[in-house]
Amino acid sequence: MNTPAGPTTAIPWQRGVAWLLFLGPFFFLSYGFANSMAARWQVSDALVYEWEQHIPFLPWTILPYWSIDLFYGLSFLLCRTALQVDRHALRLLTAQLVSVACFLAFPLRFSFARPDADGLFGALFDALAGFDLPYNQAPSLHISLLIIIWVRFATATRGPLRWLVDAWAALIAVSVLTTYQHHFIDLPSGALVGLLCLWLWPDEGPTPFSAARWTQSPERRRLAGTYLCGALTAAGLGVLLGGGGLVFVWLGIALALVALNYALLGPAGFQKHAGRHALGAALLLAPYTLGAWLNSRLWTRNSPAPGLIADGVWLGRLPDSGAMRADGFRALLDLTAELPAPKGNWAYMQLPWLDLVPPDSARLEKAAAAIERLRQHGPVLVCCALGYSRSASAVAAWLLATGRASSVDAALAILQQTRPRVVLGPQHRQALARVSPPAELTGGA
């Protein structure tokens, strides 16, 4: 007896073609307009490092340089849903709009004389020169589009084919220098635009701004202001130092995004799903994430081990995979929004909460219910960055909701027996006092 095949999802290629019919002309019109305006203004400014004069001119790299046009069109065939098609197209459109706006606001010119090339390579350079004048430099739209297209191909390929995709993408990235189309500064600025587009338009789920609203929380406003000041300081330092000091601009961008999350977007701005941040968010936030991880290790260096609170529920800092296995945990409740979680063979749940912001009673009740569900798998670790605040308030809520503690003071006393540095402020206490057992916990322990 033949078993009927399961339903397959048709590639929404018609939708992709429709987008291409719009994006293609729009690219040439907007890119050409910025080029012609720079020529009319007789732009001569350039941002170039002295060492760039040693970059060789490699005529054959015009092949990978041109190949991005082919991959641009093919990338739409790798989208499996209409939403993916739309988000991919919106990434490409946003990169175009942002880049052209920068070309018009801060026009720059490529300052090296390109050597002559002959044969096929020379013909390709001549064709390129027909519409691409030596302007439209920073950010490199070639790099922005490459990042967006590479992600589309990388998520659809595996094994040796994925290695080939990665290698060819790297070759395209290098080719913007070796074809004498861009100066170095255009590459990181182009990468920034590409990553912002990935962050703005995730493949699935809501966009970061879909549920955005300005916070009324004094704590969040204060922290947003603090991070914004740090962002301006870091970015200013990077611009002042120049050269390798531009890494501080990256830090400034990361801190600015964190400030935006505290002021407007909430935990959703970190784009953490199944314990990992989306690629755009992960790379944009990398300097902040590294700093947050180092801070968590410094604060807990004298007490890295988690503590048993009651009945298989442990409290501690976010562990690594080795610590999870060594301590025999079978479940993990992760309350961090800013740090990636370890991967392993254990039950995992995440409730991303902003650091240093007291949770309300609804979040605490949800955490208490999550802890009780995870207990079914065995010993469960409830964690945040340090294991002193977010996770402590969640475990306190579980103690209260399940009747293991009769009051907030009693719950705090239980916590401090094994985690003496746990301190819950007045707002934590007020929220805990309003915790009532969720329906699934009314049966007690």
pLDDT tens-place string over residues 277-299: 999 999 999 999 999 999 999 99
Q: Give phi and psi for 314, each to the nearest 5.
A: -115, 155
Q: Give the H or E element holding residue 335.
A: strand 331-336
Cα distances from 372 to residues 272, 375, 376, in angstroms, run: 23, 5, 7
Residue 184's pLDDT band, with cuts at 50, 70 and 90, is: very high
Higher confidence at residue 225 or residue 113?
Answer: 225
Residue 393's pLDDT band, with cuts at 50, 70 and 90, is: very high
Return the SS3 of 271: coil
What pLDDT score was predicted for residue 6? Answer: 41
Nearest 5°: the CA angle 294, 396, 338 is 30
Cα–Cα distance for residue pair 40/16, rounded to 1 Å: 35
Instruction: Clarify whether 229 is annotated catalytic.
Output: no
Cis peptide before 160 (omega within 30 of 0): no
Cα–Cα distance for residue pair 87/392, rounded to 1 Å: 39
Higher confidence at residue 195 or residue 3?
Answer: 195
What pLDDT score was predicted for residue 443? Answer: 53
Cα–Cα distance for residue pair 35/7, rounded to 1 Å: 48
Both structure tokens of 392 = 């402590």
pLDDT at residue 8 greater than cutoff 80: no
Residue 204's pLDDT band, with cuts at 50, 70 and 90, is: confident
Between the two ends of the chain, the Cα-to-Cα distance in Å is 51
What pLDDT score was predicted for residue 439? Answer: 66
What pLDDT score was predicted for residue 441? Answer: 67
Nearest 5°: the CA angle 196, 197, 202 is 110
pLDDT at residue 194 greater than cutoff 70: yes
| pLDDT, tens digit, 9 for 90 and up, residues 49-71 | 999 999 999 999 999 999 999 99
Residue 243's pLDDT band, with cuts at 50, 70 and 90, is: confident
Cα–Cα distance for residue pair 76/325, rounded to 1 Å: 42
From the candidates 79, 197, 383, 384, give the one annotated as an active-site residue: 384
Residue 131's pLDDT band, with cuts at 50, 70 and 90, is: confident
